[in-house]
């Protein structure tokens, strides 16, 4: 702690006009006022007014300094970057989660500056402002996680045209984008734009769980007086938490969000277009894809929807880096040529079939349950999941048919005896149900899990560390049913007659009868590998019913050496 009690989050010396400005706001204020009234300099972009347009604009208003005071009338670099003041609105863009990269598990947020000048051509040329960690090339995952959590990386704001993010997120990583256009007065828009310019390239300390992209984006917007969107009272800031609070926020008694715009990923567009085709149209598309491209010559017999579906499919395969990507490139060229030969008609936009993420449930969950154990009798259970979702509650804001949970703790008490049932350090499960059934639309499923568990339910107090990984396939025999089969291995500490290494074989079915009701059935068989031990069979049944957006009831059954039945009430926060 400094002698003034203040310490700036920005470490870059060039962000301050006083040599002690990073820890003394009063000296920085005085230096700023002197700089504002400084005589003209050779390069106006080096003048205080141009380096800190938000800071000086705010001071002019607070101190009623006449606009004609000061030697600088224009700032060429800032004017060029902000499209000469034509930004008339600001959007926060939320990219949904991506399980292929630890930094993207929980989604990502960025700022989009909407310019009336660029809107005449395309919004893809708008400026976007991004915040992230500055990570060296080829950093290994373990180092990345440790340094990201402990503040071992520098962080900073960068800017690039918006099309870069739509391509990276929507095309390469197949993540939906949700754009929240804010209802800000023009004066506030100009203040946020100016402040974004001030912090570009400045160094912060990056923290994965708290001072991350969501926190810093909220800070940028909160320079506007009356805006309060930083999620408080928790040790971490999830992008979804920001989006949830953003959706409820108000400014001057009006909703802060003016409009929500859905930008589907390439995968979402393909799935939507294919499912919208008639059975006959789907078969024609499948024939063209599975046989040869000669059928494309009959384009006059194909509908616009069929050709657009082919275009989305080939682009999807090209981006998947599969063995068929090179062939798909040529097929895409042929389909595009046929599309050009058809009478002009604009491609129809896709309206979302699911609620926007701000309407989703909150990310953390706590449950109190009543338990009956065939070994220990009646008791109580408490379960805390800081984040994020499991197969029963992975709603529209999450990756469907998947699990992402970190730091999940389950406690049980029977009489006066407390015990840890399990502590999941991390659980990640991904299952693609191959919605289209077309070649290259993978059914791949996988699971990675690490933590401490009871070797079986008959063992009351013998917690053991376990790491396991599995790979397999996922199927959707019915629209409301997903079935996943996995084979893998688990490494665990020897406890209660268990082997050091197990081969695992599991099958799981998840059914969603409605938006409120879902059920999970799972069986896992564990067989010892080259070690003493016995084959185990773990069975689980879980039913969930949602009580509104942020509460649910769950009925559970587990069998593994003993049996347990539980009935719990969960609250999301």
pLDDT digits (tens, 9 = 90+) for 172-205: 888 999 999 999 999 999 999 999 999 999 999 9
Question: Given this model, what pLDDT does residue 297 score?
Answer: 58
Cβ proximity of 466 and 451 under 8 Å: yes
**Is a pLDDT exceeding 80 seen at residue 71?**
no
Tokens 């607070």 belong to residue: 62
Residues 104 and 98 sit within 8 Å (Cβ to Cβ): yes
For residue 511, how many C-alpha atoms fall within 13 Å in the half-sphere facing its CB?
Answer: 11
Distance CA 348, CA 311 (A): 13
pLDDT recorded at residue 350: 66
Q: Which range among 146-150, 277-281, 458-462 shows the weakest confidence by mean pLDDT?
A: 458-462
Per-residue confidence at 488, pLDDT binned at 50, 70, 90? very high
Whether 554 shows a pLDDT value over 90: the answer reads yes
Position 340 scores a pLDDT of: 85
Are 148 and 103 contacting, i.e. CB atoms less than 8 angstroms apart?
yes
What is the predicted pLDDT for the residue at 159? 94
pLDDT value at 299 more than 80: no
Closest CA to 462 of 491, 424, 490, 496: 496
Give CA 487 to chain center in angstroms.
28
Q: Tens digits of per-residue pLDDT, 164-174?
A: 888 889 888 88
Asked whether the predicted pLDDT for residue 501 surpasses 70, the reply is yes
Q: What whole-number distance in Å separates Cα of residue 373 and Cα of residue 179?
A: 48
- Degrees to nearest 5, angle at CA 434 with 433 and 440: 145
Report the half-sphere exposure of 208 (CA within 13 A, side-chain side): 16
**135 CB-near residues (< 8 Å, 6+ apart):** 144, 153
CA angle at 107 for the pair 103 and 110, rounded to the nearest 5°: 100
The 10s digit of each residue's pLDDT in 201-230 is 999 999 988 899 999 999 999 999 999 999
pLDDT above 90 (res 12): yes
Counting residues of the chain whose pLDDT is more than 90, the rounded percentage is 58
Average pLDDT over residues 374-401: 89
For residue 98, the model assigns a pLDDT of 82
pLDDT at 63 over 80: yes
- pLDDT at position 121 is 65
The span from the CA of 271 to the CA of 265, in Å, is 10
pLDDT of residue 204: 96
- Band the pLDDT of 394: cuts 50, 70, 90: confident
Distance (Å, rounded) from C-alpha 105 to C-alpha 1? 34
- Per residue in 535-548, pLDDT (tens digit) is 899 999 999 999 99
C-alpha to C-alpha distance for 126 and 82, rounded to whole angstroms: 9
C-alpha 437/C-alpha 441 separation (Å) is 7
The rounded distance, in Å, linking the Cα atoms of 323 and 332 is: 15
String of DSSP letters for 501-561: EEEEEEEEEEEESSSSEEEEEEEEEEEESSSS---EEEEEEEEEEE-SSSEEEEEEEEESS
What is the tens place of the pLDDT at every residue in 344-378?
A: 776 566 666 778 999 989 889 999 999 999 999 99
Query: Does the pTM exceed 0.85?
Result: yes
Query: Is pLDDT of 292 > 70?
Result: no
pLDDT of residue 9: 94
Average pLDDT in the chain: 89
Helix spans in 9-98 (H): 25-36, 48-51, 53-63, 76-81
End-to-end C-alpha distance for the chain, whole angstroms:
32
Q: Select the more confidently predicted residue: 71 or 94.
A: 94
């Amino acid at each position: 702690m400094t002698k003034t009690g203040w310490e700036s989050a920005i470490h870059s010396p060039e962000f301050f006009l006083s040599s002690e400005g990073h820890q003394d706001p009063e000296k920085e204020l005085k230096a700023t006022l002197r700089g504002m009234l400084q005589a003209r300099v050779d390069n106006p972009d080096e003048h205080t007014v141009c380096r800190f347009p938000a800071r000086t604009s705010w001071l002019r208003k607070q101190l009623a300094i006449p606009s004609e005071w000061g030697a600088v009338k224009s700032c060429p670099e800032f004017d060029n970057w902000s499209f000469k003041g034509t930004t008339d609105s600001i959007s926060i863009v939320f990219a949904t989660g991506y399980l292929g990269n630890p930094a993207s598990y929980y989604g990502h947020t960025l700022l989009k500056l909407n310019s009336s000048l660029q809107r005449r051509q395309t919004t893809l040329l708008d400026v976007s402002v991004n915040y992230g960690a500055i990570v060296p090339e080829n950093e290994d995952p373990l180092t990345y996680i440790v340094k990201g959590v402990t503040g071992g990386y520098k962080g900073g704001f960068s800017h690039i045209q918006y099309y870069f993010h739509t391509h990276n997120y929507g095309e390469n990583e197949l993540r939906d984008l949700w754009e929240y256009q804010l209802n800000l007065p023009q004066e506030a828009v100009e203040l946020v734009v100016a402040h974004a310019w001030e912090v570009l390239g400045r160094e912060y300390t990056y923290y994965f769980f708290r001072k991350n992209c969501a926190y810093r984006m909220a800070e940028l917007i909160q320079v506007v007086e009356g805006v309060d969107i930083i999620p408080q009272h928790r040790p971490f800031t999830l992008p979804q938490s920001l989006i949830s609070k953003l959706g409820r926020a108000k400014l001057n008694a009006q909703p802060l969000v003016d409009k929500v715009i859905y930008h589907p990923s390439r995968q979402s567009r393909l799935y939507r277009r294919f499912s919208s085709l008639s059975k006959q149209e789907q078969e024609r598309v499948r024939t063209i894809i599975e046989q040869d491209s000669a059928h494309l010559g009959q384009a006059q017999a194909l509908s616009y929807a069929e050709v657009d579906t082919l275009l989305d499919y080939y682009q999807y395969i090209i981006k998947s880096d599969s063995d068929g990507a090179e062939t798909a490139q040529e097929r895409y060229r042929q389909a595009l040529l046929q599309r050009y030969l058809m009478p002009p008609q604009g491609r129809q936009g896709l309206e979302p079939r699911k609620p926007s993420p701000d309407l989703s449930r909150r990310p953390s969950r706590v449950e109190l349950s009543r338990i009956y154990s065939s070994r220990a009798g009646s008791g109580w259970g408490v379960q805390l999941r800081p984040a994020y979702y499991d197969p029963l509650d992975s709603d529209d804001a999450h990756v469907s048919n998947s699990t992402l949970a970190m730091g999940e703790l389950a406690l049980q008490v029977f009489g006066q005896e407390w015990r840890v049932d399990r502590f999941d350090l991390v659980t990640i499960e991904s299952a693609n149900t191959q919605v289209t059934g077309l070649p290259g639309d993978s059914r791949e499923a996988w699971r990675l899990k690490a933590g401490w568990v009871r070797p079986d339910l008959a063992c009351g107090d013998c917690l053991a560390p376990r790491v396991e990984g599995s790979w397999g396939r996922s199927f959707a025999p019915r629209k409301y049913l997903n079935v996943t089969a996995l084979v893998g291995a688990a490494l665990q500490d020897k406890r209660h007659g268990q082997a050091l290494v197990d081969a695992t074989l599991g099958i799981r079915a998840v059914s969603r009868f409605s938006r409120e009701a879902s059920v999970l059935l799972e069986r896992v068989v564990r067989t010892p590998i080259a070690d003493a031990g016995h084959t185990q069979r773990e069975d689980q049944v879980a039913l969930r019913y949602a009580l509104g957006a942020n509460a649910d009831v769950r009925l559970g059954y587990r069998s593994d050496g003993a049996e347990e039945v539980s009935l719990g009430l969960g609250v999301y926060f």
